[in-house]
Amino acid sequence: MDFANLASQLNAGTIVPEGIVIVTLLGVLIVDLILGRTSSRWIGYLAIAGLFASIVALYFEWDNTNPISFGGAFNGDDLSIVFRGIVALSAIVTILMSIRYVEQSGTALAEFIAILLSATLGGMFLSGAGELVMIFISLETLSISSYLLTGYTKRDPRSNEAALKYLLIGASSTAVFLYGASLLYGLSGGETELSAIANGIAISGFGQSLGLVIALVFVVAGIGFKISAAPFHQWTPDVYEGAPTPVIAFLSVGSKAAGFALAIRLLTTAFPLVADEWKFVFTALAVLSMVLGNVVALAQTSMKRMLAYSSIGQAGFVMIGLVAGTQAGYASMVFYLLVYLFMNLCGFTCVILFSLRTGTDQIVEYSGLYQKDPLLTLGLSISLLSLGGIPPLAGFFGKIYLFWAGWQAGEYGLVLLGLVTTVVSIYYYIRVVRMMVVKEPHEMSDVVKNYPEVRWNLPGYRPLQVGLVATLIATSIAGILSNPLFTLANNSIAHTAILQPTTVVTTQVSAMNNE
Amino acid sequence: MLSTLIWLPILGAAVISLLPRAIPAINIRLTALTVAGLALLWNIFLFLKFDISNSGMQLQEYLPWNDTLGLSYQLGADGLSILMLILNSLLTWIAIYSSSQQTERPRLFYSLILFVSGGVAGAIAAQNLLLFFLFYELELIPFYLLISIWGGQKRAYAAMKFLIYTAVSGALILATFLGTVWLTGSTSFNYDALSTETLSTALQIILLAGIVLGFGIKIPLIPLHTWLPDAYVEASAPVAILLGGVLAKLGTYGILRFGMALFPQAWSIIAPTLAIWGAVSAIYGALTAIAQKDIKRMVAYSSIGHMGYILLAAAASTSLALIGAITQMVSHGIILAILFHLVGVVEAKVGTRDLDKLNGLMSPIRGLPLISALLVLGGMASAGIPGMVGFIAEFIVFQGSFSVFPIPTLLCVVASGLTAVYFVILLNRTCFGKLDNNLAYYPKVLWSEKIPALVLAVLILFLGIQPTWLVRWSEPTSTAMVAAIPPVEKAVTTQVALNQKT
């Protein structure tokens, strides 16, 4: 094999965005090693610049005519690009949030950012991984970084407990996933590449066998853990409550997006033979997640725990698009994850700001905040209402598209359940808005009575403000001016080769079902 | 054209919310009043431009918005919506005018009211189902805040109840819209592109049931009405005016526009049920109102009763009945607005709404004579006394419906009689009798507080004496809407009903 042939086989240009992230990661570590803590003033911006460069590089990769690289181990198609973009963007906002938060907790910023960047790297590789070993490695990169981030504030016992719990559940679900992957390897007669697995299984005659179904269920357990779908959600509330808030902001958006990217790629490429089965499994997961996430969130008193259950519910909504299994279904997932990025990160930024200024995250302590901090009140209200699907905010359009796609695919029950649970979710989102906006001055909580003067020029507050305003604007207008985002989401699906044959098959199936 | 009605108030709301804190409440109120006044003037201008002889959509506007969702910014008005639009503008102006000059947190209050007004105008003008739904849901949060910040004692409970009921209504409506559009094979939500003829009757009935239940919560029909007494009573006077005068009309408007006009066949099948439902609602509202001890609660239940007539008329779906329904929507909006305004004034001056404590307000010197006189007029108008707009509307409804559903119509006539009963109770307890000498040192009613009621009273009398001005706008539209409804079921029920009578 000559060099030119090897280079074209490797096609290393597709991972330039990840390359930039790696260089940034190393840069952050080395700078910190040389300069020590004095660098923490600007090291965050270095990481942000690197991530921006990575997103720019992703832009140039768009509509790559030759996306398969590293002999099939990585697939740089438009689907992966849009998910890698979501992961990188969520990391940017997370860094904006964490500069002050990590400083205040008395821990080192550079290590935090380095671990966060490696989690980002794992998520970005996972979005495009096309081979079982590659999937496992990137999944573990993401997971191990997440465990480390969860326990980062190690003087806090809750953070320790959360990290241990997360590690235990995560490790066992990874093991289950790995068992499923090894079954797939065996069933397909020794293939690790996703596209080859489907063919291998079809040829070897294990088409609808019990082994394939077991492999499917095991793999789904691993994915369900990442996207925190009930009943694999149990880590979510504890981790969200214990871990540093910027970390859970990343876990709720970046990690979840990577999990959904994995779900789409793995299920459509490796399991087309049991499409009805995995749709059934995900229908069950979606039903459970929507009901459990939204009903249990009603009873939460801590903001972070409430957002944890709400994120379980939101994962349930996104799964409607996955179950629909049509082009519109996948596109609605992408669109919803994009707007979910804005609204959830906006919400978490406000939660961080509030806890930085007051040191608490109990919902009752938000009473009467409108008088002291109008911007925070506006930001949290808009993001929560958007999560609840109130027009004309971004979340409304996201939900409409999900429901529309679900209805088109004939998933009436799921859509109706989604509508009902949306009504339920409005209740607990509006409860927080009521605390902040409706409460009279004399009903103000003690914490808000002693609220410090709002100042943005303290170290680390300016990036928080920038992040808050940017995500707030995006949440408010991304719905009304949603055409570019819709085009992006639709194109990312329409231009992705792996989704084309399966979508044809699934539409035929659904057409037959309709008859 | 119609866009101005939507965006002028919303823009005004944005400007008001950004005004500096130092500006006193009274100036903010003045700004809001100016914005609402401009919107009203513009609406009157559109009203005069409106071509009465044209039964189709006029003043249309179209902008592509989102092809993926089939959502487009398509507006238009016909005889049904133009009346609702002007009612909305008028009542917004009245509501802002009747708000207290010392309202707490004025910037938020007035921007929310203007926002709501723009949203309602958008919902009425929307010619795209999804656009309608967007504007419909837009009311949710502002009204929640309006009730829960500026309401009475139990406002938190009332506001939450309102929110949940309305959200459920929205969910039902969205589900039905999605169902209708997808099952008819339409690629967009545009109203004029929809035709349900291809659907099986059973499916049509299911979808229509979704529409009726969804909007029935908003109207409200019993047994979906339980949010209404709480929300109306706990809301402050201007908010109650908007809730009852405008928001309830969105419900009936929705039933007419999306129930009756989209599902003519299914409509003719379920019409008898609806007629009975409307009659039961009317009777129930009247009987419950009689039992109330709180004047605001009484007026709230009267609202349930009066909305029942609209359902009866819509079910009858003769051309005359439909005109009656539209007229009743307008007349109920005006009458409810004057009643809630007057009740608000009485409460502000006397300090109670309790029928057992109020007495002798008619007393010329120390009472509130003009307010009482107007209250008598409002009560009479509501009860359907000739010479006022309430009578015109009810009479057209009854005349239009009698030939189709004689028994429900008679029940509604009985309910109309009961309306007179509880308004007489109300007037007797509040306006007549003797003042309590120890308590009766009421503040003076300012002229500015009387003006909205006087305007509405003039309107009630004028339209009552000269009803053509109210009726003629909707005649071609209602004829066209009714023409599409098959008369089969109606004929059968008429014969059966007549046979029973002979």
| Cβ-based neighbours of B241, under 8 Å, separated by 6 or more | B91, B94, B95, B98, B336, B337, B340, B341
Quick check: B187 contacting A, CB < 8 Å?
Answer: no
The per-residue pLDDT for range B142-179, each reduced to its tens digit, is 999 999 999 888 999 999 999 999 999 999 999 999 99
Partner-chain contact B163 A426, CB within 8 Å? yes
The per-residue pLDDT for range A108-150, each reduced to its tens digit, is 899 999 999 999 999 999 999 989 999 999 999 999 999 999 9
CB half-sphere exposure, A291, CA atoms < 13 A: 11
Q: What are the structure tokens assigned to B400, written together?
A: 């239009």
Q: What are phi and psi of B76, to 5 degrees?
A: -175, 165
Q: Across residues A463-492, what is the average pLDDT? A: 93
Question: pTM of the prediction?
Answer: 0.92
A64/A201 Cα distance (integer angstroms): 29
Chain A interface disruption, residue of B139, B164, B174, most A CBs within 10 A: B174
Residue A325, pLDDT score: 87
Across-strand partners of B24? none
Q: Within chain A, how many helices (H) and strands (E) appear?
A: 23, 2
Q: What are the structure tokens assigned to A375, written together?
A: 């911007």
Per-residue burial over A177-187, b if 16 or more Cβ lie within 10 Å, else e, is bbbbbebbbeb
End-to-end alpha carbon distance in chain A: 53
Q: Which residue of A has its CA nearest to B177?
A: A404
pLDDT score of B474 more than 60: yes
Partner-chain contact A438 B65, CB within 8 Å? no
Quick check: B68 contacting A, CB < 8 Å?
Answer: yes
Task: Residue A404: list chain B partners with CB under 8 A.
Answer: 69, 178
Q: What are the structure tokens assigned to A432, written together?
A: 């927080």
A436/A142 Cα distance (integer angstroms): 36
Partner-chain contact B167 A396, CB within 8 Å? no
B161/A299 Cα distance (integer angstroms): 18
Partner-chain contact B66 A490, CB within 8 Å? no
The per-residue pLDDT for range A183-210, each reduced to its tens digit, is 999 998 888 999 899 889 888 887 778 9
ipTM confidence: 0.91
A145/B351 Cα distance (integer angstroms): 64
Cβ(A94)–Cβ(A60) under 8 Å? no
The per-residue pLDDT for range A3-50, each reduced to its tens digit, is 777 777 788 888 889 999 999 999 988 988 888 878 878 889 999 999
How many pairs of residues across A and B have Cβ atoms under 8 Å apart?
A: 71
Average pLDDT, chain A: 90
Q: What are phi and psi of A311, to 5 degrees?
A: -70, -30
Quick check: B182 contacting A, CB < 8 Å?
Answer: yes
A121/A21 Cα distance (integer angstroms): 7
Chain B interface disruption, residue of A336, A423, A429, most B CBs within 10 A: A423
If one counts every other C-beta atom within 10 angstroms of the C-beta of residue A425, the result is 26
Partner-chain contact A438 B175, CB within 8 Å? no
B235/B340 Cα distance (integer angstroms): 10
- Cis bond before residue B452 (omega within 30° of 0): no
A257/A378 Cα distance (integer angstroms): 26
Question: CA angle at residue B104 from B101 to B109, to 5 degrees?
Answer: 85
pLDDT score of B499 more than 90: no
Report DSSP letters for A388-432, one per residue.
TT-TTSHHHHHHHHHHHHHHHTT-HHHHHHHHHHHHHHHHHHHHH
More confident residue, A295 or B489: A295
| Cβ-based neighbours of A330, under 8 Å, separated by 6 or more | A79, A264, A321, A322, A493, A499, A503
- For residue B178, give the nearest of A390, A404, A490 by CB distance: A404
pLDDT score of A501 more than 80: no
Residue B359, pLDDT score: 82
Cβ(B128)–Cβ(B190) under 8 Å? yes
Torsional class of B109: left (φ above 0), alpha (ψ -120 to 50), beta (otherwise):
alpha
A165/A235 Cα distance (integer angstroms): 7
- Residue from B487, B88, B405, B389 nearest B253 by CA: B88
Residue A206, pLDDT score: 76
Q: Across residues B8-14, what is the average pLDDT? A: 94
The per-residue pLDDT for range B410-430, each reduced to its tens digit, is 999 999 999 999 989 888 888
Chain B interface disruption, residue of A434, A476, A491, most B CBs within 10 A: A434
Question: CA angle at residue B101 from B99 to B105, to 5 degrees?
Answer: 85
